[in-house]
Structure 1
Amino acid sequence: MSRTSESVHVWPVAAAAEGNLSSMWNSLVRHPWRLLALLCLIQIACWTVMPAIVNVGPPRDVVEGFLWGREWVLLTYKHPQLPCWLLEISHLLTGSFRWPQYMLSQLMVATTFVLVYLLARDMMGPTRALAAVLLMPAIYFFGWPTPQFNHDYAQMPFWAATSWLLWRAARDGRPGWWLFLGLVAGVGLYAKFSTALLLAFGGIWILCDTRARSRLATPWPWLGLAVFLGVVAPLAVELVRLDFLPLTYAEHRNAWVIANRARLYYIGVQLAGLAAVPVVLAISGLLRRQPRPVQDPLLAYPAPERRAVVYLAWMGLGPALLIMAASLFTGTGEAWGATMYNLIGVLAMALLGRRLGPTELRRLAVLALLCVVGVSSAYAATRWTSCNILGRLQPMCWPARSISLTADAIWHEAVSAPLGIVGGDDGTARLAGLEAPDQPSIFTTLDRRLAPWITDQRLRDQGMLLVWPRGWKLSPQQEAWTAGLPVKTVAFNWSLKGPPLEINFAVIPPGRTSFPGNPPGPPDPE
């Protein structure tokens, strides 16, 4: 066939393909929710599959959440337990500990995308709202850390929902918005107590904004407050019953961060996590000096009112800036700010939206796709290489299933009854109990005050399996529990390069009548 005849056949095919892509893109632009749904599906798929492929063991917070979730308590010494309930439900529905936690985390992120879109759509129309969400994958906290489902990610959609519902309630004044706001705000505290920070900023905004303050003359905000108080009342009662242990934990955590982190560490991590946002804005063309004239009527939408911009800055930046300032004087975990940047994209579009045209929107979509696919692929490659080539023992490298099944076998070699309790080194003991068929409870730090589901009567009836890494320096409390017990050591392969991981197991059979007491002094979560 001649070169000319080849081109006759090839070019029409290429032109048809280009036309199909153009038609598909136009359809997505005219129905922004479709592109939003596509982004959510890609986020869920990539960040569920990639970690599930390479992570042999779940992240540390996830293992802890699974073990606490099966206790169905309202509150532990650390946090409220909504995230742990969700993890337990995910296991009950799927029967797996390998992938549901990753999907659960991405469902939280995707829900946050949708709620942010709803808020932005109310302020600046659907297309700019879509652009605001397309900026979010460029934020570090919506990518790399998301496989570790914990309280920070469980509260993320509640922050976004609270911001949206408060804006709607103040704007429309309808009773349903205020009542729903009270419900969501209350449930948000079951995800993490730091949700109260956003609620405080929301309360201040109500008092300062003229229109929002005028709503206080109606009964609906007060009924919403009553709903909120009714929802959080059980949590408050449990907090008192536990003698405010979560506050003690926060104090211990602050002291550890101050002792082990530089003064500017937290601020540096937050700025690094946001560093890609101005890069994406620049590449997309939204930072150019002179905006292009917008010819597409779908993209022409009035700029948000000044009141909306103030709201976004206050709710979207206020809590984050306050925590940054506080980190100079107190200990603040670097992941604590993860949920505070939901509105960065909306604020950026409120300020730069007049520059948004078809070209800029297309670039934002491509960059969002690259962020999700590229970063999740880099995560998988990095984790696998770190475990198998570099031989760095990280939580995701631990062979969780092998440890659990071995623990179960060692227990049943000595005891015919089910394995009911595991303890010792918390991290290793959790892995031993995670996938054990008998679903044992974790005896946290061997301190009954931190694990109120463990009693001496239960220890007498069920016994306990003690687990700790070989060579681990035992604390006095751990030595008291392991003294005189026969120890079995098992080696586990976890890496193509690293040496086997050796773990000690010791059985305390049922029927023992005396046990060491709690550690001296107040409970020490660390």
Structure 2
Amino acid sequence: MFAIAALTLFRLWATAQFDLVPDEAYYWLWSRVPSAGYYDHPPMIAWWIWISTHIFGDTLLGVRALAVVSVFVTSMAVYGIADELFDDNRIARMAAIWLNAMLLIGLAVIFATPDAPSTMFWALTLWVLARLRRTGNPRLWLLIGLLAGLGCVSKYTNLFLGPGILLWLVIDPKARPWRSSPWTLLGGGVAILAFSPVLIWNAEHGWISFAKQFGRLADQHVGLSFFAEFLAGQLGLLNPVIAIFVGVAIWHLSREPRKIISSPLTFLILLNGPIVAYMTIHALHDRVHANWLAPAYPALAILAAVAANRASGVTHLRRLSYWVTPVGIGLSSLVLLCFATPFGRHFPWGSPADNVLGWREFSTQVEDMRQRSGAGWIATTDYGLTGELAFEIKGSRLVQQIVDRQRFFFETPDASLIEKPGLLVVRISENRLGHYMNCFQSSAPLGILNRQAGKRVIESYVVLKVDGARKDILSNGCNPT
């Protein structure tokens, strides 16, 4: 555990050195106005950022601190789950370390997005369920319900844990005492109570958040290319070596039909089966983003650790296991170190890391242009750009998005802003500049600004001074007839 604590301290330092991902900046905007719900997701990440920025200020560390610490907590939960299920310290230690060797955990869940609390509360719920399975203490259902409910307050993906618990209750003989127990119902009641603020908020806002997320079910296209992308993404982000051991664990379990129903591995598979099954089926019809499966990763780390320990006598598998930590933790730490130094800020090739590059310098240029032009506010057309400019300029009230205003139900913008000239900043790649200009009485181009990594241009933006905005632009958005 000392190694994971040291790794956590390194991650806290490294993530405080490079710019926010656009989504993080957007969630930071949420945290300025704490609410029981938002257009895109439940509110937990906004609450976390509100807490951490009140401790560390509106800084990079302030935004990301709890997300990074949550990976440490998740690692402890993985250790606890494995210890409860197998009573083997070696498996527990390996599982906790291998969780951190998963590239999705080390390079994505450490950022301030809903995946951080979602994964942590999922793992903590499994830990208490494993304790319940071993000890039979009925009062644990109350804690299970609380943790599961908080998971759903983090991300709607955590709703899949409910069907997983039902599968375990129906199939595992060890769960028989709880099938008709009032404690089980009480746990479910606590979960609903914990989730109720999100339900109430959605009811008051026309179920807009549910419609946003669950509307994906109706927007589907048949295409195996999505499935291939899904498999390739999971193989890479899981850590290819860990993926092999997960397969070995499932293969060994299938060869023990007499033990399969009550096996600890089956316990993990049942609880995580619904989310894995749904994402797999969904990938046959539409794109599944790699991070959507993050809550299942703690269980997969345990499956892999069990397989590695049971295959220790097999020479080639034992040698393969030696590569997990160097490949996973070594590579993710090297990437973080790279982008925490000046070299990363001048990275010569395009990559997903472009999301954290160049925002500070670009925002400074935008603010300088605003002041020189006499503009009283900044109009944007992308939620990520809105968040980045607001965070870097430290003027969230001055930066207002003029499209998709439903994303900003949580704030009450200053209506007097539109009486002043503004600065319109639009990505050239949008190809909708003419559409946006129709929402103002006059406009004058001021130039083009580039967001760069060193000399490499990541994205170009056209900047215009605009005046005479439509009266409803900060309520209904830019929707010219």
Q: 1:312 aligns with which of 268, 273, 285?
A: 268
Counterpart selection for 2:11 from 47, 55, 59: 47
| Cα separation, 1, equivalents of 2:52 and 2:416 | 29
Is the 2:67–2:116 Cα contact (8 Å) retained in structure 1?
A: yes
CA shift for structure 1 position 184: 0.8
What is the match of residue 241 of structure 1? Answer: 204
CA distance in structure 2 between the aligned counterparts of 1:214 and 1:330, rounded to whole angstroms: 40
**Aligned pair partner of 1:494 in 452, 469, 472:** 452
Partner of 2:2: 38
Residue identity opposite 1:174 in structure 2? N
Task: Confirm whether residue 61 of structure 1 aligns to residue 11 of structure 2.
Answer: no
Partner of 1:130: 93
Q: Are 2:340 and 1:340 aligned?
A: no
Instruction: Report how far residue 194 of structure 1 moved.
Output: 0.8
Deviation per CA, 1:159-178, whole angstroms, max 9, x where unpaired? 11111212323443434411
Q: Write the distance in 1 (CA, Å) between the matches of 2:23 and 2:223.
A: 20
Structure 2-normalised TM-score? Answer: 0.80
Residue 231 of structure 1: how far off its partner (Å): 1.4
Moved more, 339-348 or 242-251: 242-251
Deviations 1:241-285 (A, max 9, x none): 222223433366678885999232212311333353358869xx9
1:116 aligns with 2:78: yes
Q: Does 1:93 align with 2:55?
A: yes
Q: 1:82 aligns with which of 38, 44, 48?
A: 44
Q: Paired residue for 1:428?
A: 385
Aligned partner (choices 148, 154, 162) of residue 117 of structure 2 = 154
Cα distance in 2 between the residues matched to 1:397 and 1:347: 33
Once the two structures are overlaid, the 10-residue window that deviates more, 153-162 or 372-381, is: 372-381
Match of 1:205 in 2: 168
Residues 320 and 341 in structure 1, CA contact (< 8 A), matched pair in contact too: no
Partner in structure 2 of residue 446 of structure 1: 403
Greater displacement, 142-151 / 107-116: 142-151
**1:271 is aligned to 2:235:** yes
Change (3 A) 1:312 1:515: closer
Moved more, 431-440 or 457-466: 457-466
**Counterpart selection for 1:480 from 421, 438, 452:** 438
Q: Take 2:36 and 2:296, find their aligned partners in 1: how far apart are those partners?
A: 25
Once the two structures are overlaid, the 10-residue window that deviates more, 365-374 or 93-102, is 365-374
Percent sequence identity over matched residues?
18
Return the letter of the residue paired with 1:273: L
Query: Is the partner of 1:144 in helix, strand or coil?
Result: helix
C-alpha change, 1:278 and 1:447, in structure 2 (3 Å) is: closer
1:328, distance to aligned residue in structure 2 (A): 0.7
Which of 158, 167, 171 is equivalent to 2:130?
Answer: 167
- The 1:324–1:93 alpha-carbon spacing in structure 2 relative to 1, beyond 3 Å, is same
Cα 1:432/1:311, change in 2 over 3 Å: same
AA aligned to 2:395 is D
Aligned pair count reads: 463
Unaligned runs of 5+ in 2: 253-258
**CA 387–247 in structure 1, closer or farther in 2 if over 3 Å, else same:** farther
Q: Which whole-Å CA distance do the structure 2 matches of 1:500 and 1:225 have between them?
A: 48
* Amino acid across the alignment from 1:38: F
Cα offset, 1:438, TM superposition: 3.3
Change (3 A) 1:205 1:243: same
- Amino acid in structure 1 at the alignment position of 2:3: L
* Structure 2 partner of 1:22: none
Q: Give the corresponding residue for 1:140.
A: 103
Query: Does the 8 Å CA contact 1:124/1:304 hold for their aligned counterparts?
Result: no
State whether residues 266 and 327 of structure 1, in contact with CA within 8 Å, keep that contact through their aligned partners in structure 2: yes
Q: In the TM superposition, what whole-angstrom CA distance separates every residue of 1:32-91 from its partner, at most 9, and x where no partner exists?
A: xxxxx22322331343344544x3x21122121112221212222211121122223323
What letter matches 2:74 in structure 1?
Answer: T
Asked which structure has the greater CA Rg, the reply is: 1
Post-superposition CA distance 1:77-131 (Å, at most 9, x none): 2111211222233233222433444543321221111001111111222232112
Return the letter of the residue paired with 1:45: L
Q: Go from structure 1 to structure 2 and tell me whether the alpha carbon gap of 1:507 and 1:226 turns closer, same or farther (over 3 Å shift).
A: farther
The two structures have a TM-score, normalised by structure 1, of 0.74
Q: Equivalents in 2 of 1:456, 1:50: separation in Å? A: 34
Secondary structure (helix, strand or coil) at the match of 2:187 reads: helix
Please tell me whether the aligned partners of residues 433 and 441 of structure 1 are also in contact (alpha carbons under 8 angstroms).
Answer: yes
The structure 2 residue matched to 1:467, chosen from 425, 445, 451, is 425
**8 A Cα contact 1:137 1:371, kept in partner:** yes
Q: Indicate if the aligned counterparts of 2:447 and 2:462 stay in contact, CA closer than 8 A.
A: yes
Per-residue CA deviations over 1:125-149 (Å, capped at 9, x if unaligned) read: 2232112223323323222334543
The change in CA–CA distance for 1:195 and 1:137 in structure 2 (over 3 A counts) is same
Hey, what's the Cα distance between the residues in 2 that align with 1:433 and 1:175?
Answer: 48
CA contact (8 A) 1:403 1:431 kept: no
